[in-house]
């Protein structure tokens, strides 16, 4: 039995303000899931909080690169230190975000230790970079591109370890079928993408099992799972910054995650983007907690 360790990474540094003069509310994700007793329900150890720098874009303008870059670089190293400590100790970190830029902390930590894969469970690829967009700026929509070495040096080459992830070690799940341009670029790079339609055609549990087996190879030291709440359909998860239609159902998401998270080669999990400010009754937060607890329930047969 692995020890789950719940670690808060309440950073919103990678998202654009939802309205002028405001900050993204996803930094409250960890607190909301803790209110749903996620630590107790997982019988997890307490990992504490990695406190992020203040959200302040200063005089940033479009075309200036990634905003909050200095703060993001500092936070990535700080979060990586904590994740690396737990993975080396044999713990299983459950990292409560935060926006998707926290995934850079996991990627850097794992790169320090060797070669790891990444399963990205997300509605969109988060693969925006200067080679495919003029609107680079929000690291929360760019973190996989940054982790694979695409983008500005101060974020892609921390500690001289670029890339933190190799293209061939990344797998996507839950991308919306209508994101055709994004999917075309990933196909050219030979990065496997499973859309919502693909998942329903082939079966969520079967795909999770096959992917787990693909990661369980001698060339890899393990893999990480990154979960963005917007992979769920907005009918059940409206409390995200980009609620794209035609997403996964809760049952489909649990079926996909269980075999991945049950693998002895899986070393940790991020949970991101849920925004309690958009969920006044707390129902979406309760659902997200139920999904994570169920997906990590090792009493189920995930084979």
According to the model, what pLDDT value does residue 301 have? 45
pLDDT at residue 302 greater than cutoff 80:
no
According to the model, what pLDDT value does residue 300 have? 52
According to the model, what pLDDT value does residue 42 have? 98
Give the model's confidence band at 303: pLDDT under 50 very low, under 70 low, under 90 confident, else very high.
Answer: very low
Question: What's 278's DSSP letter?
Answer: G
Does this model's pTM top 0.85? yes
Question: What's 225's DSSP letter?
Answer: E
Structure tokens at 154: 């101060």
At 159-218, the pLDDT tens digits run 999 999 999 999 999 999 999 999 999 999 999 999 999 999 999 999 999 999 999 999
According to the model, what pLDDT value does residue 2 have? 82
Q: Which of the four CATH numbers 3.40.50.150, 3.40.50.1370, 3.90.470.10, 3.40.800.10 does domain 3-296 have? A: 3.40.800.10
Measured between alpha carbons, how far is residue 196 from residues 123, 215, 243 in Å? 9, 21, 15
Alpha-carbon span 112 to 23, nearest angstrom: 32
Mean pLDDT across 119-141? 97
At 70-110, the pLDDT tens digits run 999 999 999 999 999 999 999 999 999 999 999 999 999 99
Mean pLDDT across 43-61? 96
Name, in order, each residue with C-beta under 8 angstroms of 22's C-beta and a sequence gap of 6 or more.
none
Of 282, 297, 258, nearest to 31 by C-alpha is 282
Question: What's 140's DSSP letter?
Answer: G
Contact, 108 vs 217, CB < 8 A? Answer: no
Neighbours of 104 (CB within 10 A): 28
Lowest-confidence range among 18-22, 243-247, 258-262? 18-22
Mean pLDDT across 247-276? 98
Alpha-carbon span 153 to 13, nearest angstrom: 18
According to the model, what pLDDT value does residue 166 have? 98
According to the model, what pLDDT value does residue 298 have? 64
Residue 109 CB burial class (10 angstroms; 0-12, 13-18, ≥19) = buried
Residue 180 CB burial class (10 angstroms; 0-12, 13-18, ≥19) = exposed
């Amino acid at each position: 039995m692995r020890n789950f360790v719940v670690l808060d990474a309440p950073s919103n540094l990678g998202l654009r303000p939802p309205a002028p003069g405001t900050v993204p509310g996803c930094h409250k994700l960890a607190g909301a899931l803790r209110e749903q007793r996620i630590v107790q329900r997982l019988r997890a150890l307490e990992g504490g909080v990695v406190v992020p720098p203040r959200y302040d874009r200063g005089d940033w303008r479009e075309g200036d690169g990634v905003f909050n870059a200095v703060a993001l670089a500092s936070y990535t190293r700080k979060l990586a230190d904590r994740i690396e400590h737990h993975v080396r100790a044999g713990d299983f970190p459950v990292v409560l975000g935060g926006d998707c830029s926290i995934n850079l902390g996991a990627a850097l930590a794992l790169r320090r230790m060797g070669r790891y894969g990444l399963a990205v469970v997300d509605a969109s690829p988060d693969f925006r970079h200067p080679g495919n967009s003029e609107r680079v700026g929000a690291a929360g929509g760019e973190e996989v591109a940054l982790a694979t070495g695409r983008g500005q040096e101060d974020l892609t080459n921390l500690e001289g370890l670029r890339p933190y992830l190799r293209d061939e070690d990344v797998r996507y799940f839950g991308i919306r079928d209508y994101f055709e341009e994004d999917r075309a670029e990933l196909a050219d790079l030979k990065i496997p993408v499973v859309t919502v339609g693909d998942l329903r055609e082939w079966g969520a549990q079967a795909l999770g099992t096959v992917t787990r087996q693909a990661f369980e190879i001698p060339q890899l030291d393990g893999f990480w799972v990154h979960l963005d709440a917007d992979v769920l359909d907005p009918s059940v998860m409206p409390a995200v910054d980009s609620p794209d239609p035609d997403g996964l159902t809760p049952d489909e998401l649990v079926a996909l995650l269980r075999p991945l998270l049950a693998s002895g080669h899986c070393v940790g999990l991020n949970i991101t983007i849920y925004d309690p400010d958009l969920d006044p009754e707390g129902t979406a937060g309760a659902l997200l907690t139920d999904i994570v607890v169920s997906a990590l329930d090792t009493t189920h047969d995930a084979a």
